[in-house]
Amino acid sequence: MSQEANQEASHYYVPAPSPWPITGSLALLFMGFGAALSVNRIPLGYGLLATGFAILIYMLFGWFGTVARESESGKFNKKVDKSFRWGMSWFIFTEVMFFGAFFGALYYMRMHSVPDLADVEQKALWPDFTGEWPTAGPGITEKFMPMGPWGLPALNTLILLTSGVTVTWAHWALKLNKRGQLKLGLFLTFALGFLFVGLQAYEYGHAYSEMNLKLSTGAYGASFFMLTGFHGFHVTVGSIMLFVIWCRVLKGHFTPENHFGFEGVAWYWHFVDVVWLGLFIFVYWLI
Amino acid sequence: MAAIPDHDVVHGADHAHDHHPTGLMRWLTTTNHKDIGTLYLWFSFIMFLTGGVMALTIRAELFQPGLQIVNPEFFNQLTTMHGLVMVFGAIMPAFVGFANWQIPMMIGAPDMAFARMNNWSFWLLPPAALLLITSFFAPGGAAAGGWTFYPPLSVQMGIGMDMMIFAIHILGASSIMGSINIITTILNMRAPGMTLMKMPMFVWTWLITAYLLVLVMPVLAGVVTMLLTDRNFGTNFFNAAGGGDPVLFQHVFWFFGHPEVYIMILPSFGIISEVIPAFSRKPLFGYSSMVYATASIAILSCIVWAHHMFTAGMPVVGQLFFMYGTMLIAVPTGVKVFNWTATMWRGSMTFETPMLFSIGFIFLFVIGGFSGVVCAIVPIDVQVQDTYYVIAHFHYVLVSGSLFAIFAGAYYWLPKWTGHMYDETLGKWHFWLSMFFFNLTFFVQHFLGLAGMPRRIPDYALQFADFNMISSIGAFGFGMTQLLFLYVVLKCIRGGAKAPQKPWEGAKTLEWTLPSPPPYHTFETPPVVK
């Protein structure tokens, strides 16, 4: 809300007509129909979904490539930079709200619907249900083991927290123009990110094969896999973003003064970090 | 309110580089806020007619008791899709269209903050609309669980429901990008001197609306995702046997759904707050209280969602909280209505079409607001839940509220957008016919609802026959009247009296300092607001 950027206002960069948004819309048209058919096991859907995804990747390369070139050629002034900051902040806020819906569902099931199903009023229907968490609910009697916090999840916590440190270390390096430390810090960050995702995948395999813990394991399984799954997806996307920033650093992009691309991704990375802490406490620890 | 700068703000340089692709490619690739605003407005009008045809099919079926025209399954699809198309396809995009055209011009900005993303926000709408509309032809037909798609019904339906879910995902992405763009534009791109408390009221209402959108659209995305996985991937969020609860859906849905109704009304408050002062030739009465009232409504709207769920089972304490919370919204809303009235008080008023629609808005929106307070009272709500009383209530706020404000705004700004004056006589006809047929359609539905006629049912008991016939006649009259609006708009685009820079002498905001129509790029050098 600054008024001091006045002297630059006449130079606010308004991009020329661009083919990328409509390409993205075409991608989502394919993906929307493809996904609707795919979830109903209609083979045509898989092809449409894959086509849409390919178009989306093409669009992302084209669009972000354009923005990176515009940035490097100095088209963005301070006011544009401020727009990016507002935009990224509110985007992360919407991501918080998205996770909020799933955390809300977890709390609701755990504190309200599950105890309610064990209430005296429901005894006629489910006499043996005690309502203790973790549970697959009164109607799913298959045995399963819950995922405890110590072991892999604790290791993953350490990995993500360390990656938060390395990305900050890289940021310091960028500000002091120490390019070697910047490259190393970023490399470590996305390497830790991918390691996290790999360990998470291993944990999922273990849950399915050894613990009989599945997506269909009632309230616990649904909240466990949907929360950790969406988080894992965000870590994957964040790691790819960090990788792209690393590639840009290798090409010599960013200056100590001008590097919002880096900062935006770092903000996003801290966001997935914080979500993980919530997950570690409420999904893994307090069971 | 913003003062008009005292120097000419349009420089010759502004015209120098408005080269852009022509024909279809202009519209597919445009990054211009005026082009994108136009796209939004035409899209919303097409969706308005589409949803309108569904509404008229519903009213044709309800013209007489018994089943005449459509089978019950298709009737359910129609009520569902009518709601979704009107909410997500007609009303919301229309307001975003206004935002695109007006916000940059009203705050003295060269364009929206993210011009390319702005294009994407619009062009995501047609794929989503295509998913919604073509779902009618999918096996099992379109989604038919009501626009609120409660489980367990929505868990059981066919592929049409999945198409609707993905359509909502895409619409949500569009809304989120659009609202982030609007927030950033307003916070970062105002002309020098335009402090927040000098912004036009329309800009203020959209800023607050955009905050509501970033708050609740992701939650809608979350809840439809849970529905998707419950349907297709074996999760048990809404299944009691798995420890979930269908009522969980209602909570999460209405956490989105209630702010959503304010998302559809706050921008119309903004439009009315521009039009009333212009035709009363007085500044808006109580500008700052309008800002605070808008913010209060937005905040309160986030903590009243469960008033949609009084009959779903809730502790008495919860019912009381949500009842009183809901009634509290009447206070800031009352502040607004009194401020508009006070603005007109002793004003030098004239009654051109935008003003007529605004006064019609105040009159009918207040009726809708009052019936809303009636619905908020728990013991009465238990009686009127899912009856035509509720239908009457929300059509009074959505049609004679949001839609009338859209008409008011369209007539108000058409001279600026097209450079021509619209046909005032036909505009007045449009207003009076809309006013008459709207009330004919919906006023009687209050009585139907109080007498117990349920919503979303294609047949009804004989005692409801007369009022239903009246309502259907009104609906067809209202529908035909909107074709008159289309004619007025087309006529205005093609020609008519040349519109001056400022056709409304009482108008004060920055867009009236530009020529009519404005050049393709405006305010590349920002004006200075005193």
CB-CB neighbours of A54 under 10 Å: 12
Is residue A102 located within the same domain as residue A54?
no
- Residue B18 pLDDT: 61
Q: Do A112 and B245 touch (CB under 8 A)?
A: yes
In CATH terms, B12-513 corresponds, of 1.10.3470.10, 3.30.2350.10, 2.130.10.10, 1.20.210.10, to: 1.20.210.10
Is residue A27 located within the same domain as residue A104?
no
Is residue A47 located within the same domain as residue A171?
no
Burial grade of B42 (CB within 10 A; 0-12, 13-18, 19 or more): middle
Is residue A104 located within the same domain as residue A197?
yes
- Residue B5 pLDDT: 44
Is residue A43 located within the same domain as residue A104?
no
Mutation choice for A interface testing from B107, B235, B239, B305 by most A CBs within 10 A: B235
**Interface list for A 56-95 with B (CB within 8 A):** 63, 79, 82-83, 86-87, 90-91, 93-95
Chosen domain end from A30, A56, A75: A75
Is residue A152 located within the same domain as residue A272?
yes
- Residue A212 pLDDT: 95
d(CA A243, CA A266): 12
Question: What distance in Å separates residue A16's CA from the closest CA in chain B?
Answer: 6
Q: Write the CA distances from B411 to A224, B365, B421, B430, B431, integer angstroms.
A: 53, 19, 9, 11, 11
Nearest to B248 among A94, A108, A140 (CB): A108
- Residue B3 pLDDT: 44
pLDDT under 70 in chain B at which residues? 1-18
Identify the domain containing residue A227 by its residue range: 78-285
Is residue A54 located within the same domain as residue A103?
no
Is residue A124 located within the same domain as residue A62?
no
- Residue B7 pLDDT: 41
| A7 CB within 8 Å of a chain B CB | no
Question: What distance in Å separates residue B511's CA from the closest CA in chain A?
Answer: 18
- Residue B83 pLDDT: 97
B251 included as an active-site residue: no
Spatial CA neighbour of A261 closest among A246, A239, A272: A246
Is residue A158 located within the same domain as residue A39?
no
Is residue A28 located within the same domain as residue A53?
yes
- Longest Cα pair distance anywhere in chain B, in angstroms? 71
| A15 CB within 8 Å of a chain B CB | yes
**At a CB cut-off of 8 Å and minimum separation 6, what does B179 contact?**
A90, B209, B210, B211, B213, B214, B217
Is residue A143 located within the same domain as residue A206?
yes
Q: Which residues pair with B420 in a beta bridge?
A: B498
pLDDT in tens, B172-215: 999 999 999 999 999 999 999 999 999 999 999 999 999 999 99
Domain boundaries, chain B: 12-513
Specify if A6 maps to a domain: no
User: Per the residue annotation, which of B27, B40, B206, B262 is the catalytic one?
Assistant: B262
Specify if A1 maps to a domain: no
Nearest to B218 among A28, A98, A219 (CB): A98
Mutation choice for A interface testing from B103, B119, B226, B314 by most A CBs within 10 A: B119
Specify if A2 maps to a domain: no
- Residue B313 pLDDT: 87
- Residue B4 pLDDT: 45
pLDDT in tens, B498-509: 999 999 999 999
- Residue B525 pLDDT: 86
| B182 CB within 8 Å of a chain A CB | no
| A19 CB within 8 Å of a chain B CB | yes
- Residue B1 pLDDT: 43
Is residue A223 located within the same domain as residue A263?
yes
Mutation choice for B interface testing from A113, A122, A228 by most B CBs within 10 A: A113
User: Per the residue annotation, which of B121, B179, B273, B402 is the catalytic one?
Assistant: B273
Q: How much is the ipTM here?
A: 0.94
d(CA B442, CA B437): 9
User: Per the residue annotation, which of B307, B416, B446, B502 is the catalytic one?
Assistant: B307
- Residue A1 pLDDT: 39
Q: Do A117 and B243 touch (CB under 8 A)?
A: yes
Specify if A171 maps to a domain: yes
Mean pLDDT by 10 residues, chain A (287 residues): 43 92 98 97 97 98 95 91 96 97 97 92 89 92 92 96 97 96 97 97 96 95 97 97 97 94 97 96 92
Q: Do B183 and A138 touch (CB under 8 A)?
A: no
Specify if A55 maps to a domain: yes
Specify if A255 maps to a domain: yes
- Say how many domains are in chain A: 2
Specify if A46 maps to a domain: yes
Specify if A65 maps to a domain: yes
Q: Do A108 and B241 touch (CB under 8 A)?
A: no
